[in-house]
Amino acid sequence: MAQTNEDRFGLPEVDHQLIEDIEDLVSKKEMGMVLNIVLDLHYADLAMLIERLEKEEAQQLFDWLPPNQRADVLLELDYPLRTVLLDEMETSEIVEMVDEMDTDDAADVLSELSDELTEEVLTSLEDAEEVRGLLQFGEDSAGRLMATELVSAPQHWTVGEATEEVRRLAEEVEPIYLVYVLDDEGILQGLVTLKQLLLNPAQTTLKAIMETEIISVQPEMDQEEAARIMEKYDLTVLPVVDANGKLIGRITIDDVVDVIREEAEEDLQRLSGISFGDEEIGDSVLAVSRGRLPWLLFGLTGSLISAFVIGNFTAILEQVVILAMFIPVIGSTAGNVGVQCAAIAVQGIASGDIWASDILKRLLKEISVAFINAIALAMVIGCVMLVLKLSGWGEMAGADLLRLFETVGISLLTCILMAASIGSGAPLLLHRHGIDPAKATGPFVTTSNDIIGVMIYFSIAQFMYFR
Amino acid sequence: MAQTNEDRFGLPEVDHQLIEDIEDLVSKKEMGMVLNIVLDLHYADLAMLIERLEKEEAQQLFDWLPPNQRADVLLELDYPLRTVLLDEMETSEIVEMVDEMDTDDAADVLSELSDELTEEVLTSLEDAEEVRGLLQFGEDSAGRLMATELVSAPQHWTVGEATEEVRRLAEEVEPIYLVYVLDDEGILQGLVTLKQLLLNPAQTTLKAIMETEIISVQPEMDQEEAARIMEKYDLTVLPVVDANGKLIGRITIDDVVDVIREEAEEDLQRLSGISFGDEEIGDSVLAVSRGRLPWLLFGLTGSLISAFVIGNFTAILEQVVILAMFIPVIGSTAGNVGVQCAAIAVQGIASGDIWASDILKRLLKEISVAFINAIALAMVIGCVMLVLKLSGWGEMAGADLLRLFETVGISLLTCILMAASIGSGAPLLLHRHGIDPAKATGPFVTTSNDIIGVMIYFSIAQFMYFR
């Protein structure tokens, strides 16, 4: 990726050749030469390079990096490798590295360590108190996404004083887009952008120029919701306040972009039947297998139930064996319709476009769509049967094609309507009961459609052939 | 959404009550009262409100809004409604509204109009030349994402002069995070952030303080790739340069966040078998049906092929009717495994974690995972058969349970390995041939697994029962 028409002023590129060269140099312990090359890389590229090295070489190279580079690189690495590297480090090395990080990143890394190790690191950390505070918040809360590094100023300060404050904190707070304006109790009252600091005379008070229509969130809010708010209102930073309105941190857009990407990947994995939705490319075979097996077993149980449903109809199958031909037609069509409906419902709920109260409206619409498509599909099957009849295949196979068409057509119509209702209704019901629909919808919809599909098909067949 | 613990200083909230009230007031033509309420709303909330009104009320309310509000709101609206509202507007109204927009947004809106209307609007537009330039770039290119509004300065300028330039353009360019530094030919040489302008003495030259390690892109690059670059390098703005390195625009993070979200939604829809991956909640029943039908027909064709495969084995089915029971087990398990593998492969390719050259490594890993899971599932089936045998069900149904288990077990193992190979191999092969794997993978994998599944199952059954 990204090799085509991207310009990099002075930034070398990571490709297969570079990876091979580094791999070779690292195994020959050529530390000087390796550092010479990799310290010119952007830390995101360096992380990508390390992800692609063999485990031993990755550890060796990471070990050679200076603490500030280690901090930047570690934060870019995905989970399995990140834990491997952390496990190899001395406590003092971890402290030195974490001290280079912003408080939100520090909390992120510490939350992956054992409780004792976290305590050990915290006792030696510069920002121990802030990081400890962040670790109090739940793993997926806005509080864990926020950094405590920010620039704030009392409302009576002037533009000149605020500029001085930006200067003082320039090193520590990165990036700075604006200054938060607080009252004497630390309650957030407004914000002043750097642009306004540049544009206004030094003696103007902040109170006179501050923007007071601010959107803020509380630290307990779910990260995905905080991300959605920043996305919706096109925000680059979002202040976090406690229940009293006191400013306690800020969330920056780069962290939120990661949340959006991770959320989307998780939803896709969950809908595709990967049980926990956090499979990483670097995970071991056993870890991947463990993540995928639960829903496969659930699906197997469902299809075994379908098997027993069919088992109950062996009498009819023995007489009209041709009915077996259409088991995949019914099953896969119902499955496809169900998945389409479920995907749209899950997506609409996640984006806030579908509200819990919309359930009847949604069902009506989905059933209308399903009805149109079912008629179209039934017509295709009708045409196929007609061709078969004209070609004499029916007589050859001893099949009553008209009755077969009636059976398959009516079953298909019924199954599609049912699949659409389950596919769009299930996520909305889950959502209404406070369950994230992305977590359970996918395999549930496919499996229940499978079972109900064969039930409907054979019940209708029973009626059509033995009424 | 977002009603729980979000703080809004002075921003009213959009809920069912407000929507009903507005609907009522609009239908009574109470323009003054309506504007009184809605002009206090953030434009993103106002857009959400309009999306939820009936079509007539939505048009009426939009019609009442002043041009600058219209511009903000229109850009937040989703497609079907956006087009409906644009269709109702006079050319002069469109010009007035588009003049309020940044060039990138203006190009976005004009691209939705007919060619004649676009020409008409362009002749009266203030930034006609810039917008016309943007319209030259392909719909999904970085060039269409960029705005031409930015602050740039020659390298010999001082901090004081650059600050003056920021002041001059403050109204027009929003937001301003940095100043691009150019040489005499307009070639991008570096950048200076507003923070640096605040921190450095007024007489310092930009050349002395500018950052020269810059990442930039060319306008022909795909939007998704530009988004990935901003995400990877944690950028808030990304400069766009032409083939000679001349600065022509900038992409801001808020637009990229939308690209990331849309890309994720599109991938999810495509993998779920929605043919074009751009279904919106507001689309009409017919539009939705049209988007979903193609892959349903494709899937139906696939399952009809499966039906004929089974039709070729009616001789064996007539004798061992119990084989029909396991058609859903084979089909759905192979389907589930295929979808899991395909989802991970598509995702890894999209995020750049899987490279085209990784194909053999990926296949080996996926087949290992599949093998472990296949053994686990076969053991479950073995246990079920054992219980059936002990309960005497086998004799009752006249089935040779051991032979049935051998047949189903071997078929399941074979089908799962095959499904894993197709599920993970197909996206990589498509990617290698320059086709976006998200576009074709989903239904192709499910359908081919269906067909090959029944083929393998009945071939193995034929061998086991009639060797």
Contact A264 B260 (CB under 8 A): yes
CB atoms under 10 Å from CB of B380, counted, come to 14
Distance from C-alpha of A440 to C-alpha of A277, rounded to nearest angstrom:
11
Candidate from A274, A296, A308 with C-beta closest to B333: A296
Distances (CA, A) of A274 to A279, A287, A441, B166, B339: 8, 12, 12, 51, 9
Find where tokens 């006079």 sit: B90
Using alpha carbons, select from A74, A138, A76 the residue that is nearest to residue A111: A138
Residue A63 scores a pLDDT above 80: yes
Using alpha carbons, select from A269, A17, A365, A283 the residue that is nearest to residue B285: A365
Domain annotation for chain B: domains and CATH numbers: 16-139 (1.25.60.10), 152-261 (3.10.580.10), 285-466 (1.10.357.20)
Confidence tier at A163 by pLDDT (50, 70, 90):
very high
What's the burial of B30, exposed, middle or buried (CB within 10 Å: 0-12/13-18/19+)? Answer: middle
Amino acid identity of residue A194, one-letter, is: L
For position A4, what pLDDT does the model report? 42
Distance from C-alpha of B137 to C-alpha of A226, rounded to nearest angstrom:
34
Is the bond into A12 cis (omega within 30 degrees of 0)? Answer: no
Using alpha carbons, select from B329, B323, B447, B314 the residue that is nearest to residue A325: B314
Distance from C-alpha of B456 to C-alpha of A197, rounded to nearest angstrom:
72
Percent of chain A with pLDDT over 90: 69
A11 or B174: which leads in pLDDT: B174
Residue B107 scores a pLDDT above 70: yes
Residue of B nearest to A179 (CA): B195
pTM: 0.87
Which secondary-structure segment (H or E) carries A240? strand A237-241
A260 touches chain B (CB under 8 A): yes
Classify the C-alpha dihedral B98-B101-B103-B108 as positive or negative. Answer: negative
For position B1, what pLDDT does the model report? 35
For position B2, what pLDDT does the model report? 36
Helices A437-466 & A327-351, crossing angle to 10 degrees? 150
For position B10, what pLDDT does the model report? 47
Residue B12 scores a pLDDT above 70: no
pLDDT 10s digits, B43-93:
999 999 999 898 899 999 999 999 889 999 999 998 789 989 999 899 999
For position B293, what pLDDT does the model report? 94
Confirm if A253 and B38 have CB atoms less than 8 A apart.
no
For position A62, what pLDDT does the model report? 95
A173 touches chain B (CB under 8 A): no
ipTM over 0.90: no
Any idea what the Cα angle at residue B277 is, between residues B272 and B281, rounded to 5°?
95
If you ran DSSP here, which 8-state letter would residue A77 be given? S
pLDDT 10s digits, A398-408:
778 899 999 99
Interface of B with A in 60-89 (CB under 8 A): 78
pLDDT 10s digits, A142-159:
999 999 999 999 999 999
Residue of B nearest to A352 (CA): B1
- The count of CB pairs under 8 A between chains A and B is 388
B440 or B5: which leads in pLDDT: B440
Average pLDDT for residues A288-314, to the nearest whole number?
93
If you ran DSSP here, which 8-state letter would residue B141 be given? B
For position B3, what pLDDT does the model report? 38
A180 DSSP β-pair partners: A152, A191
Find where tokens 């686990």 sit: B376
For position A80, what pLDDT does the model report? 83
pLDDT 10s digits, B193-231:
999 998 899 999 999 999 998 999 999 999 999 999 999
Token reading at A405: 């068409």
B162 touches chain A (CB under 8 A): no
Is the bond into B328 cis (omega within 30 degrees of 0)? Answer: no
Pairing of strands B178-182, B188-193: antiparallel
Pairing of strands B6-8, A215-217: antiparallel
Distance from C-alpha of B333 to C-alpha of B157, rounded to nearest angstrom:
68
pLDDT, chain A, mean = 90
Find where tokens 């989905």 sit: A366
Confidence tier at B96 by pLDDT (50, 70, 90):
very high
Q: Would you state the torsion angle of the CA atoms of residues A439, A443, A444, A446, taken in this order, to the nearest 10 degrees?
A: 140
For residue A24, give the 3-state DSSP assignment.
helix
Residue A8 scores a pLDDT above 60: no
Average pLDDT for residues B152-169, to the nearest whole number?
95
Distance from C-alpha of B270 to C-alpha of B440, rounded to nearest angstrom:
7
Confirm if B201 and B210 have CB atoms less than 8 A apart.
no
* Cα A46 to the center of its chain, rounded Å: 24
Using alpha carbons, select from B351, B4, B226, B75 the residue that is nearest to residue A229: B4
The whole-angstrom distance between B236's CA and the closest CA on chain A is 8
SS3 content of chain B, % helix, strand, coil (to 5): 65, 10, 25
Instruction: Pinpoint the alpha helices (H) of A66-203.
Output: 67-76, 79-88, 91-98, 103-110, 115-124, 128-135, 142-145, 159-169, 194-199
Using alpha carbons, select from B228, B370, B9, B303 the residue that is nearest to residue A289: B370
A217 touches chain B (CB under 8 A): yes
Candidate from A218, A225, A321 with C-beta closest to B317: A321
Which of A141, A281, A385 is the mutation pick for testing B, counting most B CBs within 10 A?
A281
Distance from C-alpha of A18 to C-alpha of A37, rounded to nearest angstrom:
9
What's the burial of A280, exposed, middle or buried (CB within 10 Å: 0-12/13-18/19+)? Answer: middle
Contact A170 B365 (CB under 8 A): no
Find where tokens 């100023």 sit: A153
Interface of A with B in 278-307 (CB under 8 A): 279, 281, 285-286, 288-289, 292-293, 295-297, 299-300, 302-304, 306-307
Which of B369, B381, B446 is the mutation pick for testing A, counting most A CBs within 10 A?
B369
What's the burial of A232, exposed, middle or buried (CB within 10 Å: 0-12/13-18/19+)? Answer: buried
pLDDT 10s digits, A259-282:
988 888 888 898 888 888 889 888
Confirm if B289 and A369 have CB atoms less than 8 A apart.
yes
Confirm if B422 and B338 have CB atoms less than 8 A apart.
yes
Q: Tell me the chain B residues in contact with residue A304 when contact means C-beta distances shorter than 8 Å.
A: 329, 381, 384
Find where tokens 């496969």 sit: A296
Average pLDDT for residues A285-294, to the nearest whole number?
93
Average pLDDT for residues A103-131, to the nearest whole number?
93
Distance from C-alpha of B362 to C-alpha of A283, rounded to nearest angstrom:
12
The whole-angstrom distance between A211's CA and the closest CA on chain B is 10
Confirm if B46 and B250 have CB atoms less than 8 A apart.
no
Contact A343 B318 (CB under 8 A): no
pLDDT 10s digits, A167-195:
999 988 988 999 999 999 999 999 999 99
Token reading at A332: 């896969």
Token reading at A46: 């360096």
The whole-angstrom distance between A372's CA and the closest CA on chain B is 7
Amino acid identity of residue B325, one-letter, is: M
Classify the C-alpha dihedral B269-B274-B279-B282 as positive or negative. Answer: negative
Distance from C-alpha of A70 to C-alpha of B203, rounded to nearest angstrom:
37
Distance from C-alpha of A431 to C-alpha of A349, rounded to nearest angstrom:
8
Average pLDDT for residues A355-362, to the nearest whole number?
86
> φ, ψ for residue A36 (rounded to 5)?
-55, -40
Using alpha carbons, select from B278, B280, B53, B224 the residue that is nearest to residue A351: B280
Find where tokens 């705005």 sit: B147
Residue B7 scores a pLDDT above 80: no
For residue A194, give the 3-state DSSP assignment.
helix
Using alpha carbons, select from A40, A31, A77 the residue that is nearest to residue A55: A77
Interface of A with B in 403-442 (CB under 8 A): none
For position B363, what pLDDT does the model report? 93
Distance from C-alpha of A78 to C-alpha of A321, rounded to nearest angstrom:
53
A269 touches chain B (CB under 8 A): yes
Average pLDDT for residues B268-285, to the nearest whole number?
87
Which secondary-structure segment (H or E) carries A151? none
pLDDT, chain B, mean = 90
Confidence tier at B357 by pLDDT (50, 70, 90):
confident
pLDDT 10s digits, A411-445:
999 999 999 999 999 999 988 888 888 877 877 88
Using alpha carbons, select from A439, A436, A444 the residue that is nearest to residue A419: A444
pLDDT 10s digits, A223-246:
999 999 999 999 999 999 999 999
Confidence tier at A164 by pLDDT (50, 70, 90):
very high
pLDDT 10s digits, B384-429:
999 988 888 877 777 788 999 999 999 999 999 999 999 999 999 9
Candidate from A216, A299, A369 with C-beta closest to B332: A299
If you ran DSSP here, which 8-state letter would residue A400 be given? -
What's the burial of B330, exposed, middle or buried (CB within 10 Å: 0-12/13-18/19+)? Answer: buried
